[in-house]
Structure 1
Amino acid sequence: MPDKINGRRFPRSKPFEFLVLLIVAVVVAAGVRTFLVQTFYIPSGSMEETLLLDDKVLVNKAIYRFRDPRRGEIVVFEPPVGWGRGPSEQEYIKRVIGVGGDHVVCCDSQKRITVNGQPLDENYLYPGDAPSEEEFDVTVPAGRLFVMGDHRSDSADSRVHLDSDQGTVPVDRVAGRAFAIYWPMSRWASLPVPDTFSRIPDQK
């Protein structure tokens, strides 16, 4: 239907309408990307076999505006200054093993990592990998996270940076939680928290 201005009618321009719709779509998409959901590709093998090289995941950027990251979640974060960055990496992706106040230790008599005295049953690890070849005993400072890759023998994670804030990552450097693999389509899957993390008691 044509517009009417001061009693005169002007037909709408279809190219103009298309341009307006395109601009609106771009603005909405940019808003979603900035505040809600972002895509992230896996640049290394450090999270195999949960996440494979060049998998693409969806990252919830809004969730940590309302709460802090939790144990077992896979997070995308900007590495602390002391960590440095790889040639193709602007952000890292790892699994949260311990949160502020947690006592994270490697390893118990059965070579398992423990959190607050509770051993982790890490059936998500890369086949053949030990939970850790490096020993550590860390109490995670408040407002920080202890993170590790699922491919422990190929992951430069908190264990590599123990001399810098015990290898922990500030919560405010976390961009969001990876919650699903969306590409390739044959790999589509959600990324839930493994059950083992539900058994960890809070540190007293």
Structure 2
Amino acid sequence: MERTPGRRLGMWAVALLALGGTLALGVTVATAVLVEDGYTSRSVPSVSMDPTYRRGDTAYFTLGGGSGIRRGDIALISAPTWVPKGDVLKRVVALGGDRISYKAGDPTLVLNGVPLEEPYLKDRATPATASFDVIVPEGRMFVLGDNRGNSNDSRMRLSDHDGTLPVSAVRGKAVAAPAGFLAAGAAGLVGIALILAGGGVGAAALVVRGRARRKGRLQQVGQVQAVAR
């Protein structure tokens, strides 16, 4: 039995497209499950948290209020008076009842009378750019970017509640990338690669079939011409 030209390529194309589509669907389902479990992710839009998070990095968060927030946590915060559209990503350096201060030229901030060690700063020699002294009201927090030379944070808003934000504005706390998100991302890349490969193989199958049809027509024409002679 004569095999249709390009048939094997066509079968490979269907298999690759089906597998790629299955993986893509699995990524969608896995991501939905992770969101249901209280996780989300965001692309970092600015350099204010550099070097901890660079512009374009993906940051992962556990969703929830600010009840479990601690000093040193990186929080996803709803602050429409700061950023009308979207959320802000900042580090919590002081909470209600804390006194946080800085005197121009000092090597560190001072938290409750104790020098605050901040190994995460982009420039540890410049923990702030201007002096301030704030006692954080209860239920509020003082937040800063790790890139103190390029961050719109509590220091810039001292005339409004001493630059503090309500703890209730916290939407999520930054965490290491959940394994499920990493697996979903890897599967998604594989799925895309398989779909692209399947499309390429399918195109090759069409080319082979087209050539075979043209060859068949030429042979038929040749046979007709031979009979006519």
Change over 3 Å in CA distance of 1:114–1:128 after alignment to 2: closer
Greater fraction of residues in strand: 1
Contact 1:108 1:114 (8 Å CA) reproduced: no
Matches of residues 167-178 of structure 1 in structure 2 within 5 Å? 167-178=163-174
- Give the alignment's TM-score, normalised by structure 1: 0.67
The structure 2 residue matched to 1:155, chosen from 130, 148, 151, is 151
For 1:141 and 1:50, locate their aligned partners in 2 and report how far apart those are by CA, in whole Å.
28
RMSD: 2.8
Where 2:176 maps in the other structure, the secondary structure is strand
Given the superposition, is the C-alpha separation of residues 45 and 110 from structure 1 closer, same or farther in structure 2, using an over 3 Å criterion? same
1:131 deviation in Å? Answer: 0.4
Q: CA deviation at 1:34?
A: 5.5
Equivalents in 2 of 1:56, 1:107: separation in Å? Answer: 34
Q: Among all aligned residue pairs of Structure 1 and Structure 2, give the percentage whose two residues are the same amino acid.
A: 35
TM superposition score normalised by structure 2:
0.60
Give the structure 2 partner of residue 38 of structure 1.
Answer: 40
Q: Matches of 2:76 and 2:161 in 1, distance apart? A: 19
- Which residue of structure 1 lines up, in the alignment, with residue 103 of structure 2? 107
Name the count of aligned residue pairs: 156
Larger Rg: 2
Change in 2 beyond 3 A, CA 1:145/1:72: same
2:174 aligned counterpart, secondary structure: strand
1:23-61 deviation per Cα after TM superposition (whole angstroms, max 9, x unaligned): xx75x8546426610011110000001111110011011
In structure 2, do the counterparts of structure 1 residues 181 and 36 end up closer, same or farther at CA, with 3 Å as the change threshold? Answer: closer
Question: Cα distance, 1:112 vs. partner?
Answer: 1.3
1:90 positional shift: 0.3
Q: Is the 8 A contact 1:102 1:139 kept in 2?
A: yes
Q: Is the 8 A contact 1:49 1:126 kept in 2?
A: yes
Q: Which has the higher contact order (CA 8 A, sep 6+)?
A: 2
Alpha-carbon distance between aligned partners in 1 of 2:103 and 2:35, rounded to the nearest angstrom: 40
Tell me the SS of whatever aligns to 2:117.
Answer: coil
1:83 is the counterpart of 2:82: yes
Deviation of the 1:171 alpha carbon: 1.1
